[in-house]
Structure 1
Amino acid sequence: MTPESLVAQTETLFSFPDAAYRVQELIEAPSTRAQDLAEVILCDAALTARLLRLVNSPVFAPASPVTKVAQAVNLLGTRALRDLVFATCAIETFAGLPEDGLNMEHFWRYSVTSGIAARTLASERGLPASEHLFLIGLVHGLGKLILLSQCPTQVREVMQRLGKTATIEETAAAEEQVLGFNYAELGATLLKAWRFPDSIWVPVQYHLQPGRAPTHRLETETLWASVSVASDMLAADLAKGDEPGSVQIPEPERIAKPLRLPAESIARLPLEIELEILEMLEILIPGCSLIP
């Protein structure tokens, strides 16, 4: 079994919606108008509703309510629009997976936290198009969902080798021992099959070892840091019952040093992004039980 063969086996089960590809094609075409994009989005009622909720949320805080998709397209901009479309389609593609061995709401909270943390850290580092990091953070763990769905026996074997406090790196190492590859490689292979650009799948594939990334090194480092922050935040939330402001990063220096940021930037990150996480969860996963 290889990542390529596993993705090929599941291509029909986990196929990316044509609407997302159409949005990408239109964004790349220089003659595309906002109305052209709006017409594609309007064909998907769930996507339309989430788009309008996003542009009317405190994240964008418009001066007056936005009620038309074409207005939303103009307000968001093409990159943020594409990221929202891809994020929504990714979540819908994996909807309905059995929760044996994985709480899906916890998984998406962790993924949304990774995305928002990545976007925030990219902005602090002065990376261009930092909004792009939200999508990278959101989809970095999709390989775990394929493993859960298609390789439950191997996943159980991986878990038996690990303690309850295993790190992401330890989990990936156990996956390599059992499967010959890890969730990051599998997720990157899926994203390539979905025709995501290398600016997305390269950071996903190498985020556990950013130094090995052949390109997009800064984005990969940022993703590694955001995943570390998200893991710490989720662990603290589960331990403390989601008490507001209760989350602390145990070793902010460890995460901050490779990014060449002050440790305070990492230490204050949970409190800075907590509200945004809840807002984005409500937009992407309406009714999520993890939202107070």
Structure 2
Amino acid sequence: MELHGLVDQPGKLPTVPKVVQQLIASFNSEDVSAADIARQIAADPALSAKLLRLANSAFFHVSRTVGTVDDALRMLGFVMVRNLVLGNGMVAAFKNTKGMDLPQFWRYNLYTACAARWLAMHAGIHGEDNGDAVFTIGMMHGIGQLQLHAVAASEVAPLDKQVNVLDASRADREKERWGFHYADVSAELARIWNFPDALAAALRDVPEPLGTGKLDRAAGWVHLGAWAARVDVLKLDDEAARASYPAQVARKLEVEPDWMPLLVGHAQDKAEHAMPAMKELSAGLDAMLE
């Protein structure tokens, strides 16, 4: 199996809704019009209803009801509205993927995105770490896994029997077997869809943010978020969670371990610095996965 062969024909690529294609194009547009995007979203009643449901969720703590797409853009910002539509579009594009526990997979991606965003906002560098942009990478970092299962199910199935697709060792096992891993596929899809080079590079680096010798900060936040999501979704016990904690990445990002209580022995005096539980942190955004 070769990386290029997974995406070398249009028929091998997922069908992305038109409005999602237009939002993807906005990544590289310096003069994107929020009004145009609002009209495109509003033209799809089902998508508009989903966006408003998400915008009014507990996740955003909005001060008043978000009643229109224009309201959502004003109150949440263009990047987060784009995130919500992209996330919903990706779930729809891969909804028929076989051989995977899709609800578990997407819950893991959502938890990763939410945790990475929280970390970037609470422990990041102001003006350098953009939480909403990190959320984008978190939601999309696993799409290569979906593409592998959609296009090369027979080649992937034997590995699935040996190691869960969400396991921390999965990328290494894939690279040993094929010479590339799911994150390389994610980055290749991003390149074909004309995402910015920096976003594609971050997607590729998520499994190993320090692999090139220089930290990709966005990939680093998502890497830490993925660890937290994995602990929750795979129900890792405290010993396994602590053993798999990416401490080197955390140190490079200058993140103190008190963001996760289990890393500091559940010390009561550290609770004020801790990230909320995943269900609380992502409250309401699970509607994106429906």
Q: What residue ranges of structure 1 are gaps of 5+ in the alignment?
A: 240-245, 287-292
Which secondary structure does the structure 2 equivalent of 1:8 belong to?
Answer: coil
Partners of 2:204 and 2:165 in 1: how far apart?
A: 23
Using the alignment, how far apart are the partners of 2:163 and 2:30 within structure 1? 50
In the comparison of the two structures, how many residue pairs are matched? 273
CA separation of 1:263 and 1:189: change in aligned 2, threshold 3 A? same
> In 2, Cα distance between the equivalents of 1:196 and 1:15?
16
Residue 260 (1) aligns with residue 258 (2): no
TM-score, structure 1 normalization: 0.81
Q: Cα gap change, 1:85/1:212 in structure 2, threshold over 3 Å: closer, same or farther?
A: same
Deviation at 1:15, TM superposition (A): 3.4
CA distance in 2, matches of 1:57, 1:71: 14
| Residues 222-265 of structure 1, C-alpha deviations (whole Å, 9 max, x = no match) | 1211112211111117x8xxxxxx99943457363343211111
Amino acid aligned to 1:117: A
Q: Cα gap change, 1:104/1:36 in structure 2, threshold over 3 Å: closer, same or farther?
A: same
Q: How much does 1:213 deviate? A: 4.7
The reply on whether 1:143 has 2:144 as its aligned counterpart is yes
| Structure 1 residue 118 displacement after superposition | 0.8
Cα gap change, 1:145/1:209 in structure 2, threshold over 3 Å: closer, same or farther? same
- Which residue of structure 2 lines up, in the alignment, with residue 106 of structure 1? 104
Structure 2 gaps, min length 5: 262-270
Cα RMSD for the two superposed structures: 2.9
Identity within the alignment, %: 23
C-alpha separation in 2, matches of 1:228 and 1:41: 33
Q: CA 1:247–1:45 in structure 2 vs 1: closer, same or farther (change >3 Å)?
A: farther
Larger relative contact order (CA 8 Å, sep ≥ 6)? 2
- Greater alpha carbon shift after TM alignment, 85-94 vs 2-11: 2-11
Equivalent residue number for residue 264 of structure 2: none
> What secondary structure, in the 3-state scheme, does the structure 1 residue paired with 2:210 have?
helix
Q: How many angstroms does 1:18 deviate by? A: 2.7
Deviations 1:50-81 (A, max 9, x none): 21112212223333322221121111211112
Q: What is the Cα deviation at residue 163 of structure 1?
A: 5.2
Q: Does 1:222 align with 2:221?
A: yes
CA distance, structure 1, for counterparts of residue 181 and residue 117 of structure 2: 25
Q: What CA distance in whole angstroms lies between the structure 2 residues aligned with 1:227 and 1:10?
A: 30
